[in-house]
Amino acid sequence: MGYLIHIAILFAIYSILGLSLNLIVGYTGLFSMTHAVFYGIGAYTTALLLTVRGMDFFVSVAVGVMIAVIISLVSGIVLSRFSDDYYAIVSLGFGVIVYAVFLNWQELTRGPFGIPGIGRPSVMNFVFSSGESFLILSLSALGLVFLASRFIVRSSFGRVLKAIREDEKAIRVFGYNTTYYKLAIFVMVAMMAAVAGSLYASYLTFIGPSIFMLRESIFILAIIILGGLGSLGGSIVGALFMILLPEVLRFVGLPSSIAAQMRQVIYGVILIVLMLYRPQGLIGKYRM
């Protein structure tokens, strides 16, 4: 039972990441590779405030969100000067820079040694120490993020995001400041990713820089490509598939010496086949 709860918690966290990334990649058409950055910012903020300052978990989440807002505003202003492939390349460079900070600022992050002993959330005298209680917390956070994402998508703001994806120059003709819309959604998804990072840090009670490398951004991107761009439900389906797949492969009986490599190969093959025969994902609306 504990194993299933563990999988469900990871599913909830990665669903939050998938939903938020889909807002900017799927609905707005901006190929961002910065998601692991804000995921890491939320995680490190919570880890440091809980272990060093003894702060309440929910306060640390709020602080992590605020830091993510500030950093996403600054980086978003820079990214707004680019488009298409250049946007993706610059966002990739930003992710590499922040990862280097996580790895080398040892006085703050402890570098490659990571931060252990991160506490669990608590409300009054109740501590979310059991897997069941933390699962409820994670699913509650997922529910709030899903509702927020659905509200964004169905609002007039969301319709402008879709128009930017289809033809940004045309929507500018009608007087819309597309730079504002792109910056706003970039900040929103950074906030959501920071929440997921806080949950992840508190659940595992340990974080290290290797968790937030470029491959994590690629993994989250694979979730929405698989599930479907421009589909909130697709983000959840993709997260479920990508979390369950390695667990299923554990029971296939692959030799331990090549099991990890084979899992990566299978990931790659699935994505290639999907791009060939279902480029919009399982239940997506747009093609990459």
More confident residue, 260 or 142: 142
Residue 258: predicted pLDDT: 66
Residue 189: predicted pLDDT: 95
Name, in order, each residue with C-beta under 8 angstroms of 77's C-beta and a sequence gap of 6 or more.
Answer: 183
pTM value surpassing 0.75: yes
Residue 33: predicted pLDDT: 87
**Percent share of the chain, pLDDT over 90:** 45
CA distance 240 to 1: 18
| Ranges 6-20, 76-90, 107-121, 233-247, most confident | 6-20
Mean pLDDT of 150-165: 93
Break the chain into its structural domains and give their ranges.
2-211
Question: Taking 80 as the threshold, does the pLDDT of residue 139 lie above it?
Answer: yes
Question: Taking 70 as the threshold, does the pLDDT of residue 260 lie above it?
Answer: no
Residue 191: predicted pLDDT: 96
Residue 246: predicted pLDDT: 76
Classify residue 157 as exposed, middle or buried by CB count within 10 Å of its CB (0-12, 13-18, 19+): middle
